[in-house]
A and B are shown apart, each in its own frame.
Chain A
Amino acid sequence: MEAEELTLVATKPSFDLPTACPLCLPVFIFLKLAHVPFRLSFNSIFPDSDQIPYVESGTYVAYNNKNGGVIECLKQDGIVDLDSEFQSIPDWISIKAMINSWLADAMMYELWLGSGGRSAYKIYYSDPPWPIGKVLFLKQVYVVKQRLGITKGNAEQREDEIYKRANIAYGALSTRLGEQNFLFDDRPSSLDATFLGHALVTLHALPDTSVLRSKLLEHDNIVRYAEKLKMELIESGSSSSGPQFHSVPSPSAQRKGPSNWSKLLHLKVIFLYFFLFLLLIS
């Protein structure tokens, strides 16, 4: 792979997080934990893409929908690997499975269905133009129900099952974590990135009335672990040991208002075409 700077393309920041998407934030944290310098770029026009997040460097691209996700791709391609010493630990597989299935399902449910979808709409669909965002949101709600196997007949049962499993997972992870800084041997791993991403989105993006959030808050050590690492990896920013990153908005992002000169030019162009149209139809 060419020695070019890595760029992580993710969903836009919101809820005081560099990216509030539960799939993108773990990759961000993973690169931070690995002290890999990278740029952060946003894509606001493809919220329903299964390719995002992706990491690119020159002609190399690691998509999220290939080979188990971006983190697994980076490990397999020899770019970044934090897990080389943890694979042999007996709990590794079970905790990995728990995070990637039970907690992932719980996050999907809570984000799209449990909390009314408001957080999901703000994370993914507030940037695309309104009719597109609305239609895609409704489509995604339907897809989530299909994936979780939720029907009108079993909705309550599935909800109980999802929350119950999440609760069990939180308990197991809380026990595993204890008072350590990380889940395994006090050293960061990809599971820390994945779990931390889940925890931060749950604590900051979900509403206070969220059932999943209230269940996570019952485990103080997890909350401390999440807030501590958030401060170190995200809020510290210019630490000498941490990597620098530059956020590059996507071309479609409209962050600033137009300058006065631009406004005048836009108005002139629009009026010119409007008068031309009136002239033709008169």
Chain B
Amino acid sequence: MSNPDLKPELTTPDSKPDPEHQKPFGTNDADEEEDGDDENDVEDEEEEDVDVFGEPDRPKPRTREDKFRSDKLKMESLLRRMQSGPVSLRVHDVIVKGNTKTKDHVIAAEIEELKRVGSMQELLKASQLVNLRLRALDVFDAVKITLDSGPPELPGTANVTIEVVETANPLSGQIGAYTKAEARSSTVEGSLKYKNLFGYADIWDGSLAYGCDHSAELSAGMYLPRFKGLATPVTARAYLLSQDWLKFSSYKERSLGLSLGLFSSTYHDVSYNLAWRTLTDPSQMSSRPVRRQLGHNLLSSLKYTFKFDQRNSSMRPTRGYAFVSTSQIGGLAPDTRCLRFLRQEFDLRYAVPLGFYRAALNFGISGGVVFPWGNGSLSRPSSLPERFFLGGNVSPLCALGGPTALWGFKTRGLGPTEPKRQVHGENSDPSGVDFLGGDLAVTALADLSFDLPLRWFREKGIHVHAFACAGNVAKLTENEYQNFSVQKFVESIRSSVGVGLVIPTSLFRMELNYCYILKKFDHDRAKSGLWLTFSGAS
């Protein structure tokens, strides 16, 4: 813990004046100016008796108005110099104040850029970047950066003072709605966070999430921005997840696991997941393929996600494109009895603005494949939870990540099926089938959205859309790939069209659609009519 009486100083290794002595920026005395707001403050500090901009012979102002005029002239002069070219400058000293709890090295890691600046312009940019980074740690209520002149014997240098205000209330809570592609539905999540418990800008959280697909998750996580000098933050999450698929596939899934975020950047994300997963069938009505998969499995997998989203909005994209690719390999453990599989999915979206009533045409195509690996892999079935299931009450437009939903089709509402167990003497459901998902899935969508002519609707963001979608799943494992043909796959594609009203709220996007099923097969759970979908931010 930092001693508040000491001012931790971070000095630059090279504090020599510029040998060319082009346009030195130096002041004799340092004095701080403070303002009360929390905006990104980068100030030049000036003092009445300061010589600046190489003009030591300027007469000293006596009245307040004179001082104001003098300051204004100095600022204009500085701006002119900065516009004409780089103003040579080095950082002599970085002083951090206010971190009573946060460790020095955590802050030091975020302010590295300040040491490398060579000009006033670079210093301003670096200060802004450092300010954003410190705020992004989410453990400070305010961050203020003040620029000051360096020692008088070292012209062309500056001192930087960083004042942080550590969060007064480390405990916070929030509730939100999200759409997770892997959950295939929207979830409502409530979480509690505790910030900076150990002074490493660590964030601890506990959350409870409930999904529209009858899933519930209890989890606790930790976020460390700087761990052992790693440039990327480390996240760890322990979770207990329960998903009820009894109605659709006659099994319940429960997972107890640990997820580690190994690497995360703007476009790339690598995570490792270790989980004990159990599939059970309390109803004892499952079909044969599901019965064979009931039991315990150890999942040890590495997942890599590449996400490039240049759309202007994920909830109502009107321009831009996005591409997501997710690769997952399971079975990374010394124990060969772990679940072994390879899973790859991708999603490509493109939004074209049409130039009237904020209209846009959205296109999307997504696909995925999964298969086990190991000896005799293709003669064995793929793991049931890893397969692709299409359908659900989430809008395909918002679910970016892989093949998930189709308008008009219920959760897990299409694809290979198998009859459930029949019990003699009981009224058995003649349409009792289990949806088994597929090893290969492809979906495509087209969506035209535009504002309504009435101003009230436009102000609320309520708009209409017309859409069309198509998709299919197929089995490849258990040697079914030998019977697979592209023609048969295309011929068995399901499709639907429709129109609807989109109502955005602060938590989610709600769609009230009329869907018309163009093509479906016997056991598919799809119907033409009114549908309500809820989608959170993905």
- Given A251-B380, A273-B329, check contact A256 B304 (CB 8 Å): no
Whether the Cβ atoms of B263 and A277 lie closer than 8 Å is: yes
- Mark out the residues of chain B between 409 and 466 whose CB falls within 8 Å of any chain A CB in the assembled complex: 419-422, 424
Whether the Cβ atoms of B291 and A132 lie closer than 8 Å is: no
- Given A129-B338, A277-B304, A281-B232, check contact A61 B291 (CB 8 Å): yes
Q: How many residues of B contact A (CB 8 A)?
A: 42
Residues of B within 8 A of A128 (CB): 295-296, 298, 337
A56–B287 Cα gap in the complex (Å)? 10
Least CB separation from A130: chain B residue? B335
- Given A46-B294, A49-B295, A61-B291, check contact A254 B304 (CB 8 Å): no
A66–B268 Cα gap in the complex (Å)? 51
Whether the Cβ atoms of A269 and B337 lie closer than 8 Å is: no
Residues of B within 8 A of A241 (CB): none
Nearest chain B CB to A218's CB is how many angstroms away? Answer: 39
Whether the Cβ atoms of A66 and B284 lie closer than 8 Å is: yes
A14–B485 Cα gap in the complex (Å)? 42
Residues of A within 8 A of B336 (CB): 254
Nearest chain A CB to B49's CB is how many angstroms away? Answer: 52
Q: Count the A-B residue pairs with Cβ separation under 8 angstroms: how many?
A: 104
A221 at the interface (CB under 8 A from B): no
Whether the Cβ atoms of A256 and B375 lie closer than 8 Å is: yes
Whether the Cβ atoms of B284 and A251 lie closer than 8 Å is: no
Residues of B within 8 A of A250 (CB): 292
- Mark out the residues of chain A between 97 and 121 whose CB falls within 8 Å of any chain B CB in the assembled complex: none
A258 at the interface (CB under 8 A from B): yes
A280–B380 Cα gap in the complex (Å)? 33
Least CB separation from A78: chain B residue? B424
A269–B293 Cα gap in the complex (Å)? 25
Whether the Cβ atoms of B298 and A131 lie closer than 8 Å is: yes
A59–B335 Cα gap in the complex (Å)? 35
A219–B296 Cα gap in the complex (Å)? 40
Residues of B within 8 A of A131 (CB): 276, 298
Residues of B within 8 A of A273 (CB): 302, 304, 327, 329
- Mark out the residues of chain A between 121 and 174 whose CB falls within 8 Å of any chain B CB in the assembled complex: 127-132, 136
- Mark out the residues of chain A between 12 and 51 whose CB falls within 8 Å of any chain B CB in the assembled complex: 43-47, 49, 51
B297 at the interface (CB under 8 A from A): yes
- Given A45-B295, A251-B292, check contact A269 B262 (CB 8 Å): no
B288 at the interface (CB under 8 A from A): yes
B342 at the interface (CB under 8 A from A): yes
A54–B284 Cα gap in the complex (Å)? 11
Least CB separation from B232: chain A residue? A281
Q: Which of A190-198, A229-237, A259-267 forms contacts with chain B?
A: A259-267
B373 at the interface (CB under 8 A from A): yes
Identify A56's interface contact among B291, B329, B380, CB under 8 A.
B291
Least CB separation from A263: chain B residue? B375
A54–B285 Cα gap in the complex (Å)? 13
Whether the Cβ atoms of A254 and B375 lie closer than 8 Å is: yes
A93 at the interface (CB under 8 A from B): no
Least CB separation from A60: chain B residue? B422
A61–B420 Cα gap in the complex (Å)? 10
Identify B329's interface contact among A45, A129, A269, CB under 8 A.
A269
- Given A269-B329, A276-B304, check contact A262 B296 (CB 8 Å): no
Identify A266's interface contact among B293, B337, B373, B424, CB under 8 A.
B373
9 example contacts (A-B, Cβ-Cβ < 8 A) are as follows A46-B294, A60-B424, A127-B337, A128-B295, A250-B292, A254-B337, A262-B375, A270-B329, A273-B329
Shortest beta-carbon contacts, A-B, top 7: A45-B295, A46-B295, A129-B298, A59-B422, A258-B375, A129-B337, A251-B380
Interface residues of A (CB under 8 A from B): 1, 9, 43-47, 49, 51, 54, 56, 59-61, 63, 66, 77, 127-132, 136, 250-252, 254, 256-259, 262, 265-266, 269-270, 273, 276-277, 280-281
